[in-house]
Amino acid sequence: MSEGTATCTTCPRHCVIAPGTLGACHARTNQGGMVVPAGYDHVTSLAVDPIEKKPIARWKSGSTVLSLGSYGCNLRCPWCQNHGISQVGEGDVPWRSISPQELVGLARRLNSEDSRMVGVAYTYNEPLVRWEYVRDCGELVHEAGLANVLVSAGCVMPEVVREVAPLIDAANIDLKAFRSESYRMLGGDLATVQETIRLLAAMPTCHLEVTTLVVPGVNDTHAEIGDLAAWLASVDSQIVLHISRFFPNWRMRDRGPTPVSRVYELADVARQHLCHVYTGNC
């Protein structure tokens, strides 16, 4: 290791980062020999969304959440629908600073105007590449009597999950496939995501749902979805699974959308193992 470099321990990539440079996620940097979030409170996207859009189907139905995202992601999914913020860095997209105190002040005001607005969702790009911001906001959100919602690919080390999990009231984890080679293609690690799901499922204060985007030629077989659903059921048969339809995007425009009939077939396969299976984008 070169002098002054530091190893990031946020995700399985374990990037070795030279001073003043960024890791593969475009969101963590080496400052004085320590890895810290770059643009700690930089926000690129801010909106009030229905909770069902996250998607969260079986927690506070009919409510809304103040949703925010930044830039950067530690995965490289070629079909990413948010690649305009997830696959870029600070200089590539407009952003503004919103401190945890400012964010919670806005959430409290929105809640006072409409009680259906129940909290804050960390979403759009990968929020856990800036897990410190999620933690700091989450603590203040709870102090304000509001809820925290996490939408993540879950490909971070268990120590990170343990830091934020006690603050998360509902989560949706994107389980992208159930084959290790598929995750290697994306720059991630299946076993790490499985551990994230286990940890959140074991947290009694966190409602957990999972989404799998069915991509033709990647993860669209009965065998793979059956294995995925059976494993989720072994963790907790009450975990909600969303089977979602793929549409061509970013670097994967070489195939058409997932046939609707295939989505329904795979949902039926998953229902052989899980109590709550939903279809999306159909």
Q: Report pLDDT for 134.
A: 98
One-letter amino acid of 221: T
Helix extents (H) in the chain: 83-86, 100-113, 131-143, 158-164, 180-186, 190-201, 222-235, 260-271
HSE-CB at 165 with a 13 A cutoff on CA atoms is: 23
DSSP for 62-131, written as a single string:
T-EEEEEE-S--S---TT-TTHHHHT--GGGS--EE--HHHHHHHHHHHHHH-TTEEEEEE-SS-GGGGH
Residues of the chain with pLDDT under 70: 1-2
Total number of residues shown for the chain? 282
pLDDT digits (tens, 9 = 90+) for 73-102: 999 999 999 999 999 999 999 999 999 999
Cα–Cα distance, 189 to 129 (Å, whole number): 15
Cα–Cα distance, 150 to 148 (Å, whole number): 7
End-to-end CA distance of the chain: 49
Cα–Cα distance, 106 to 94 (Å, whole number): 20
Q: Report pLDDT for 1.
A: 55
β-strands 170-174, 207-214 pairing: parallel
In the chain, where are the structural domains located? 40-280
Q: Report pLDDT for 199.
A: 98
pLDDT digits (tens, 9 = 90+) for 101-117: 999 999 999 999 999 99
The CATH-assigned architecture of domain 40-280 is Alpha-Beta Barrel (3.20)
Q: Beta-carbon neighbour count of residue 118 at 10 Å?
A: 24
One-letter amino acid of 199: L
Percent of the chain that is helix, strand, coil (3-state, to 5): 35, 25, 40
Q: Report pLDDT for 3.
A: 76
Cα–Cα distance, 223 to 269 (Å, whole number): 9
One-letter amino acid of 240: V
- Residues in a beta bridge with 69: 45
261: its two tokens? 């009939």
β-strands 117-122, 147-152 pairing: parallel
